[in-house]
Amino acid sequence: MLAILSGSGGALASQQSTPTVRHHRVAETENATSPEVEQAEAAMQKQEFDAAEALLKKAVAANSADYRAWFDLGFVYTQTKRRPEAIDAYRKSVAAKPDVFESNLNLGIVLARQGDNAEAARYLKAATQLKPTANADEGLARAWLSLGMVKESLDPQQALAAYAQAAKLNPKNPEPHLSAAILLERQEKYDDAAGEYQAAATLEPKAAEPIAGLANVYSMQKKLPEAEAELRRLLELEPNNSTVRTQLGRVLAAQGKQGEAATALGSGASKPGGDPHGALDLGTMYVKAGNYAAAEEQLRFAVKGLPQDAEAHYAMGSLLMVQKQYPEAQQELLIAAKLKPDLSGIYGNLAVVAAANKEYALAIQALDTRAKFLPEIPATYFLRATSYDNLKDRPKAIENYKQFLSADGGKMPDQEWQARHRLIAIDPTNASKYEYKKVDKK
C-alpha cells in the first residue's frame, strides 16, 4: 500500500549519475607555459571555445609534453560535447605530468560519464592522494565524492567509505550524506539510511531530497507516524506537489485516519491539474465507504489521467460492476486485463459482468484465466456451470454443478437449490442423486 515516493524535488531518490567536470587552472611548473595557453585560458573565461581550441592545438603541436595545454584542451572538448577527444586530451595531460590533481580528477569524471567505472575509479583514487591547486579540502572532498559514485557499481562498501571521507573533508556539504543515504536505502539498510538523510536535512533544511528520503525509509519500515511527519514537512516546502500529497493520503489511510486521508487526497485529486494517482486512492476510499457517486467521479478522473494504468481501469470496472453497469464494466475490465494480464483479481469480476451481459464464452474464458493464478472456489464452479448451461454444453455444465455442490457445503443455499434442480432437469437419469435427502429424526 505504501508506494515509494517519487517525483519530488527533481532528484528525489535517484543517485546522481556522475559529478560535473570543472575547469581549475593547474599549477605552473618551473617551465613557463606558452603564450598560446595564456591566451586560450583568457578565451575560455569568455566562453570562446573555438578560439581557445585553435590556440591550444597550436601549443601542443609546438610542445606535446605541455600538460597544462592538454588539460585545457580536454576541458574545451568536454564543454563542446566531444567526449572521446576530451578523454584523449586528459590522458595526454596525465601522461605528461601524472601528479596533477585536476588532470586525474577530470579524466576520472569523463571516463565515468561513458561508463568506464573501473578505469575512472583508478584516476579518481589517484586524485584523492594528490594536492589540489586551490581549496584543498573542498577539492579532495569532491574527488572522494566522485570516487564514491563510480564505486557504487564496483564495491558498495568502498563507495560508502569514500562518501564518509568526502563528508569529513567538507562537513558543510550535504551531498556525501545524501549519496550515502540513497545507496544504503538501496541496500535496505534503512536505519543507516535514515541517519544519513537526517544529516543531509540538518545541513540543508530547505532541501526536499533528504526529507523525501526520510519519508521513503520510514514508509518502508512501516514507521507511519514518522513518515507522516516528514511528508508534512515536505508539503510545507512544496505545497503544490500532488505526488507528495497523494503519498501523505496513503500513509494516513494506512494509519486508519480515513478522514484526514480523504482531505489530503481530495485537495489534489479530481480538479483541473489534479493528481490522478490521488484520485485513484480517494476513489478507492469512497468505494470502501459505500459512497459510489463520489467514487465514480474520482475513478473516472483517474482513468482519464492514467489511460495506461491497469489498476485504474480495474477499479473503475469493479465499481461499475457493483453499480450493475455491466457493459461499461466489461469494457474497463478488458482494458485492465490487456494492460496487466497477471493482475489476477480482474478475471473473477470480468467473468461476472460477462455472464451478466450474456457473453458466456467470455465468462468461461475469464474463469479459466483466473484459475491460472487463483484456486477455484464454489462461486467460480457455479458461474462456470451456469455459463456452460446457457451455452447448452450439458456435460460440462453437469460436471461444474457437481463440483459446486461438493465444494460449497451449504454456504450458498440458494445456489445449491438452483444447482440441484438444474441437474435433475439436465441429467434426469441421475436425478435421485441430486435430491435433498430427508433426515430421520428418530
pLDDT score at 258:
78
Question: Is 382 part of a structural domain of the chain?
Answer: yes
Query: Is 436 within a domain?
Result: yes
* Domain tally, the chain: 1
Residue 408 lies in a domain: yes
What's the pLDDT at 22? 57
* pLDDT (tens place) for every residue of the chain, 442 residues total: 122 222 222 222 333 445 555 555 554 444 457 899 999 999 999 999 999 999 999 999 999 999 999 999 999 999 999 999 999 999 999 999 999 999 999 999 999 999 999 999 999 999 999 999 888 999 999 999 999 999 999 999 999 999 999 999 999 999 999 999 999 999 999 999 999 999 999 999 999 999 999 999 999 999 999 999 999 999 999 888 878 888 888 898 888 887 787 777 765 554 545 788 888 888 888 888 788 988 898 899 999 999 999 999 999 999 999 999 999 999 999 999 999 999 999 999 999 999 999 999 999 999 999 999 999 999 999 999 999 999 999 999 999 999 999 999 899 999 999 999 999 999 999 988 888 765 444 4
Q: Of 288, 297, 291, 289, which is closest to residue 269 (Cα–Cα)?
A: 297
Q: Left (φ > 0), alpha (ψ -120 to 50) or beta: where does 358 sit?
A: left
pLDDT at residue 259, as a whole number: 77
**What is the predicted pLDDT for the residue at 436?**
72
Is residue 431 one of the residues assigned to a domain? yes
Q: Specify the pLDDT at position 253.
A: 83
Q: How far is it, in rounded angstroms, from Cα 168 to Cα 395?
A: 78
Asked, for residue 401, whether it belongs to a domain, the answer is: yes
143: in domain: no
* Domain contains 426: yes
Residue 271: per-residue pLDDT: 54
Q: 269 with 278: CB under 8 angstroms? A: yes
Q: Which residue has the cell 494504468?
A: 309
Range of the domain at 384: 375-442
Q: Is residue 407 part of a domain?
A: yes
Euclidean distance between CA atoms 126 and 67, whole angstroms: 17
Q: How far apart are CA 379 and CA 100, in angstroms?
A: 76
Confidence at residue 32, expressed as pLDDT on a 0 to 100 scale = 54
